[in-house]
Amino acid sequence: MTAFVPSNILAILPEILLLSLGVLVLVLDPFWKEENRRLNLGWLTAGGLLVVLAVSLALARPSAPVLVFGGMLRYDLLGFAFKMLFIFGAAITALFMMDVEQVGRRAEAYLLLLVAALGMSLMASAADLVMLYLAIETTSIPLYILAGFLTGDERSTESGFKYLLFGALTSAVMLYGFSLLYGFSGETSLYALAASFPTFSLLALGTIFLVLVGLSFKVSLFPFHFWAPDVYEGAPTPVAGFLSTASKAAGFAVILRLFTVVFPSLSANWSLILAVLATLTMTVGNLIALAQKNIKRLLAYSSIAHAGYAMIGVVAFSQLGAASTVFYLIAYILTNLAAFGIVTAFGHVAGSDDVKAYYGLSRRAPTLALMMMVAFLSLAGMPPFGGFVAKVFVFAAAIEQGWVWLAVVGVLNSIIGLYYYMTVLKYVYLYRMEGEEEEKHPIPLSRPYAIALTVLTIGIIAVGVIFAPWFGIATGAAMNLF
Amino acid sequence: MNFLSSHLLTLILFFPVLAALVILFLPKDEVKAIRWTALVASLVPFGLSVLLWMRFDSSASGFQFVEQYPWYEAIHSTLHVGVDGLSLTMVLLTTLLTPLAILASFSIKERVKAYMILFLLLETGMLGVFLALDLLIFFVFWEIGLVPMYFLINQWGSEKGERVLWGKVKMQARNYASLKFMIYTMAGSLGLLLAIQMLGVLFQTYDLPSLYLKWNALEGTVMGLPVATVKAIAFWAFVVAFAVKVPVWPFHTWLPDAHTEAPTAGSMILAGVLLKLGAYGFLRLVLPLYPAEAQRFAGALAFLAVMAIVFGAFASYGQTDFKRLVAYSSVNHMGIVLLGIAAAAKVGLNNPDVALNLSKNIALNGAVLQMFNHGLSAAGMFFLVGVIYERTHTRNLNDFGGLFPLVPIYGGILLFTSMASLGLPGLNGFVSEFLVVRGAWPILTVYTAIAMLGLLFTGAYILKSIKQVLHGPLNEHWAHGEHRLTEINVREIVVMAPLMVLMLMIGIWPAWILDVINKAVMMLF
Amino acid sequence: MQFPILSVIVFTPMAAAMLILLIKSERKNEIRVTALAAASLALLLSLWVYFSYDKAAAGYQFVEKYNWMPMLGISLHLGVDGMSAPLVLLTGVVMFTGVLISWGLDDRPREFFAFLFILASGVFGVFASLDLFMLFFFYEIAVFPMYLLISIWGWIKTREYAAMKLTLYLFIGSVVSLIGALVMYWQSGLHTFDMLALEQAAFSPGFQKLWFPFVFFGFAVLGGIFPFHNWSPDGHVAAPTAVSMFHAGVLMKLGAFAALRVGIMLLPEGAKSWSWLIMGLALVNIVYGAFIAMVQTDFKYVIGFSSVSHMGLVMMGFSTLTRVGLTGAGVQMFSHGVMTALFFAAVGMVYDRAHTRDIPRLGGMVKPMPLVAVAFIIGGLVSMGMPGFSGFVAEFPIFMGIWQVRPLVAIIAAISIIVTAAYIMLVIRRVFFGSMPAEFEGHIGPVAVQDKVALVFLCVIMIGLGLFPSLMVPWVQTGVQHLLSLLGGA
């Protein structure tokens, strides 16, 4: 147990700042007039988050990894990198939330967002089972509420409820797994657990399965992905975006840390399990996405598939593998947030999430269409966008460790993905609206959306072209694991 | 002057192309300017080849005025040109006939510019074949000559007439003829192309003089097969390609259609020069490269030659279309050329028998001279058919009759040319046919005897055609009114005049040309 | 530091695309002029690169190397050798003429030129790339704009189907190669994607034999090798004119070239083991493609299948692994590229005016479009391998190469020459000559001056190369020399 050192405060500086921001939002809210509320809340949250990001980057960057707060947290680059991602994601989501009816004007929504981000940050650096569980719940509960935030909408309520039930169930199973871990070892610290599992044992494998239940739910891995399409469809779109990106990334952070730290000796086994699950996830996600007529559901299944791709990096139990997963998540967060953001902006004006509503988008809003093209092509894995580089690295990591068949599966799935992404783009660029009067139905973009989408688009291209610095960060994070 | 003599052949070869380029930039409505530019431009190569003839040293052996320029070094092919007596004769023929054909084409009224350009390009193609001393260049020009002729037939050929293919597809006759001409020749040349490729691969060079030596020195196995087999296959590949061009029965079926449907000047060149390309190929390539195979298969060649002579004659006799009759007569006459070549092949190289060697030489001389002579007479005949067709718009012999009093000058010229074609002593045809028969008799007696039958019928069809056109009761249709037949005009006479002069000259005093030919032939084989 | 000319060539189209996207949609003329300026610049630079290439020194020249991600050994490594310099030039030519031909495009020219230029950048990048990762990067950039270009501006009847089929096919091919490339990367142990280093990597023969098919055939899909050629005719036909020009003229060469660069040059032993298969499939391409072209009634399909047939010749040249065969293949890539660009340009001009490509319904086009007719005839002569034109300069050495390896194949392949002549002459006669059907009388407008310039330019290139093989063959030979050294002096 390490003694408390004042400099350890820096380890939780982002969390502290997030909490402060949350309080600030809550406190300031009653003082604002109704009509200004949405703008003020949104800008305050987003701006505040950016400040948090800047301050953390400036002050709270870890040097050597160290366990702090009695071993509850590990102050290392892995956790830090993920934290910055979550904060960035939350900032963008806050901007997107601003224009959604019933959500944008409620301070509670922003507060929940911030709390969820807080929980995720803790998840990323958790080094203790108890802390881990606490962080997961801290993340999940606000997200349950956010999913069901549109109280008047049946689907939103259903989505929130479904998310809650599913989440609670899987969480319980995972907790059981945690308790078994404690039972076997007498330790709750992740870094001490490894000693208790030096070799393969069926019990260890069983525990892995139990833990995996909860984590699979978080990253929507087969077979615990069923909640995702319904929840994404029903939830307010920016929330869906946040769920599909930051929440998933948090789950991955946990998986990375847990599996590489606690079960390195069983890596052959859990790698295989994860490989099979990744295969099923990608395939199921992509195949079902082919049939979707609702764009949110399509993106939901697409997100499921992407979890599979990212998992390939985890399966390649190596530094390159972990780095490629982290890089994948960086690119993926940018891309998926952009996709959901576009859907939000469009849905706001058109009032529909049916794919058919997107016919002729390129003539109604050429710039928005271009951004959509960038996002979707990045999802498909086309250069010069981040998705391409991410996929190549993930496959490279797999091949390095001999998982050639997995890389082939990933590649084949990319092809299926390409098909439906291109189909959507076809609707946007080729097909015409009914009546062909696109000029009369433009899609205006409000300022927050314009800013958010521009940042994301530039980010997608930047990550795809100048990928060395980002991969450097990812590698630095991965080094903490190996 | 030095430039002229050191680049004489390339000048002759490429001047028509330059002229074509000049014409390209003339406005297409200035028909008169285009025609006269083309004519004058075509006289230049003629003048240069006369110069060439005078400077040619007929006592020296080997190729003269040789030029060699790098062209496609990667595959060891150079622009290597030179003349010996054989090619010189052919060059002279080509450069003589082209201006005459262009003059004959003055009656073409549509798209004159394109026509003249194609004609000039055609001239270069033909000259290239005769001048080439590089096998690849030979092939290049061989193929190049096809395209302008295709379009000449296709675009300016006779407008009437239709063919029905495979029971349902209808095609204009000239389209059918031109396509058949092109595809037939290309298909025939395919074997040639492959054989040339093989030679290039084997010897890493396309240079003819060195190929003569290397190919004949080849022994052992080539690509897993014995040399003899490979040579036999290559021999037939070459033979088929040239046989299509000559044409040799049974590869002749493209000729009647092509000749008939082509415009007058096109037929003149087609019969006058293009057919000689095939025969030239036999002499320049087949005999020197494949002496043994030629000897082995000489009987077959002779058989084909005789078939050509006999069937050609019979077919001519049976025609009612004047032009088609003349077309088949080409088959007939070229058969004689091939007979001479076959006879020479039969004797082979290094035959100790002096008498046979003499016969061989005589036969070859005859063959080459026949090439030249047939060039003159065929061009003349086709032109004359064209003259009457332009006036009457029919070529059906039955439509004519007794035209002599109406057009006495035309009649006289037609008679003269026909007699040359028939082989009347005193005119050129007799000299070459006699030489061939004299040369082939000791070597291929039976075949020659059969060929004589053919020659008999040659007389028959020519006389029949003259009778139907000029003699007999006058067909009143042409005597009065708007169909009144007009006499041959000055331009047309100018076209025929040089041909007639040459026919007479060679008939009475062939030495000036035979000397040149003889020397070449003796060196050749 | 020397002027980074290759980077400029590669990125100019991309930069121009960005610029064009910033122009307002309505200002169509500004868009076109910008496009033409960029294309001209690229053409001039590629001409300069081509003619400044020092053949005596050979090897890779105009080399630029910028470390992109040293951790994995990825660098932006550009350079041209004797094989790729002609292809860079070809891209410049096709880009330039493509812009001229597309001058009249009225439906959203902004997006059209932007996507076309992104495509062009990708193509330039592949030809100039000496880094394996970057090669794939640019390769994929060259694939996806095709989807948009075809599906939005293509022929309404089949564009969606053709665009999707094309994109999926090409993508599949490229990812198959990608797997192979990644395997090579790890196997070499060199931790670099630098192809110059990988050329010396000396993979074991067993490894090469196993992975060569993946790498070669993955790329060869884009080259149109049988039986993976099916995307090509539909893609050609559905695409708008300039895109067809690019597609057949350049993109298919991209596939063949990448197959050569990554497959044959990096895995020479594998190439030797599998050359028989490539030869066999290429033979099918050549003969089958020609026969199928003959029975087509759609003008553009004839040309599409003719491309399949001619690309077969390129692959055939590769498969011989001989000096002459490879030289011929190199020249054929250029010659066919120019020829097919011309064909599609001509077809497009006919279609724009007659609004049909059905051969039985066309005829007599020589009168209103004499230059187009002559240009098409010249293109036809090139495709037949008629001496005097670039096609002969390309096809003859290929046949010589085949003779050295398997004479029987040469004889069979030669059949295609006749079939090609037949269908080309028939098409020419039916479309351009003969009588014009009544429905077109008076409706066939004249050809614009920029179209004429494009056609003449292409014809001059084909005739020039045909008469003077020394304008290109020595370049290709230096590249082949290097290739042969990798093959062990075969």
pLDDT score, position C489: 47
- Whether C contacts A, i.e. 3 or more CB pairs less than 8 A apart, is yes
In 3D, which of B163, B186, B340, B171 has the Cα closest to residue B256? B163
Q: Average the pLDDT over C254-282 and give the result.
A: 91
pLDDT value, residue B99: 94
Least CB-CB distance to C418: which of B136, B186, B200? B186
Residue pair B438/B359 in contact (Cβ under 8 Å)? The answer is yes
Minimum-distance CB partner of B143 among C386, C414, C433: C386
User: Which residues of chain A register pLDDT less than 50?
Assistant: 1
Say whether residue A4 is in contact with chain C using an 8 A CB cutoff: no
Q: What is the pLDDT of residues A182-228, one digit of tens each?
A: 888 888 888 888 777 777 778 888 888 899 898 999 999 988 999 99
Q: B201–C404: do the CB atoms touch at under 8 Å?
A: yes
Whether residue B463 has pLDDT greater than 70: yes
Chains A and B touch (3+ CB pairs under 8 A): no
Q: Are A353 and A296 in contact (CB under 8 A)?
A: yes
Alpha carbons C216 and C237: distance in angstroms, whole number = 26
So what's the pLDDT on residue B154? 86
Q: Which residue of A has its CA nearest to C187?
A: A400
CA A449 to the chain's CA centroid: 20
> Residue C137: which of A377, A384, A404 has the nearest Cβ?
A384
Answer yes or no: is A430 within a domain.
yes
- Give per-residue pLDDT as tens, C86-111: 999 999 999 999 999 999 888 888 98
3-state secondary structure of B403: coil
Give C 388-407 residues with CB within 8 A of chain B. 388, 392-393, 396-397, 399-400, 403-404, 407
C305 neighbors C248 (Cβ within 8 angstroms): no
The minimum CA-CA distance between C325 and chain B, rounded to whole Å, is 10
Q: Closest by alpha carbon to B130, among B69, B63, B61?
A: B63
Given a cut of 90, whether residue B229 has pLDDT beyond it is: no
**Do B121 and B16 meet the contact criterion of CB atoms below 8 Å apart?**
yes
Query: Does residue A205 lie within any of the structural domains?
Result: no
CA–CA min distance C152, chain A (Å)? 5
Of residues C388, C404, C414, nearest to B140 (C-beta): C388
In a domain, A29, yes or no: no
Judge contact between A85 and A330, C-beta under 8 A: yes
Q: How far is C401 from chain B (nearest CA, A)?
A: 8
Q: Is the CB of A422 less than 8 angstroms away from the CB of C167? A: yes
- The total number of structural domains in chain A stands at 1
Residue A450 in domain: yes
- pLDDT of amino acid A121: 93
Task: Report residue C407: phi and psi, to 5°.
Answer: -55, -35
> What would the two tokens of residue A123 be?
């998840």
* Euclidean distance between CA atoms B159 and B263, whole angstroms: 10
Domain extent for A332? 268-482
C-alpha count within 13 angstroms, C-beta hemisphere, residue C153: 25
DSSP string, C109-146: HHHHHHHHHHHHHHHHHHHHB-BHHHHHHHHHHHHHHH
Alpha-helical segments (H) within B471-489: none
Render pLDDT for B75-107 as a digit per residue (tens, 0 to 9): 888 899 999 888 999 999 999 999 999 999 998
Which residue bears the tokens 């050929």? Answer: B157
- Rounded to a whole number of angstroms, the distance from the CA of B275 to the nearest CA of chain C is 20
Helix (H, G, I), strand (E, B) or coil at C105: coil
Q: Please list, in sequence order, all residues whose beta carbon lies within 8 angstroms of the beta carbon of residue B27, skipping any fewer than 6 positions away.
A: none
Residue-wise pLDDT tens digits, B412-428: 999 999 999 988 998 99
Q: Is the pLDDT of residue C199 over 90?
A: no
Q: What is the pLDDT of residues B2-37, one digit of tens each?
A: 777 778 888 899 999 999 999 988 888 888 889 999
> Which chain A residues are Cβ-neighbours of C138 within 8 angstroms?
383
Q: What is the pLDDT of residues B275-304, one digit of tens each?
A: 999 999 999 998 888 888 888 889 999 999
- DSSP type of residue A116: H
> What is the per-residue pLDDT for C490?
39
Domain-embedded: residue A472: yes
Instruction: State chain B's mean pLDDT as an integer.
Output: 88
With a CB cutoff of 8 Å and minimum separation 6, the contacts of A263 are A194, A197, A204, A208, A270
Number of H helices, E strands in chain C: 19, 2
CB contact under 8 A, C404 and B141: no
A161 domain-assigned: no
**How confident is the model over A280-306, as pLDDT tens digits?**
999 999 999 999 999 999 999 999 999
Neighbours of chain C (3+ CB pairs under 8 A): A, B
Mean pLDDT over the full length of chain C: 89
Dig out the tokens for C416 from the structure.
Answer: 């295609």
What is the tens place of the pLDDT at every residue in C111-149?
Answer: 899 999 999 999 999 999 999 999 999 998 988 899 889
State the ipTM, two decimals.
0.85
Transcribe A126-156 into DSSP letters: B-BHHHHHHHHHHHHHHHHHHHT--TT-HHH
Chain C contacts in chain A segment 432-471 (CB below 8 A):
467-468, 471
Split at pLDDT 50, 70, 90, the class of B167 is low
Query: Is residue A423 a part of any domain in this protein?
Result: yes
What is the predicted pLDDT for the residue at C395? 92
B interface with C, Cβ–Cβ < 8 A, is 70-75, 136, 139-141, 143-144, 147, 150, 154-155, 172, 175, 179, 182-183, 186-187, 190, 193-194, 197-198, 200-201, 223
Q: How far apart are CA A150 and CA A157, in angstroms?
A: 7
Q: Indicate the range of B164-173, B263-272, C156-165, C256-265 predicted with least confidence.
A: B164-173
Is the pTM higher than 0.90? Answer: no
Domain annotation covers residue A249: no
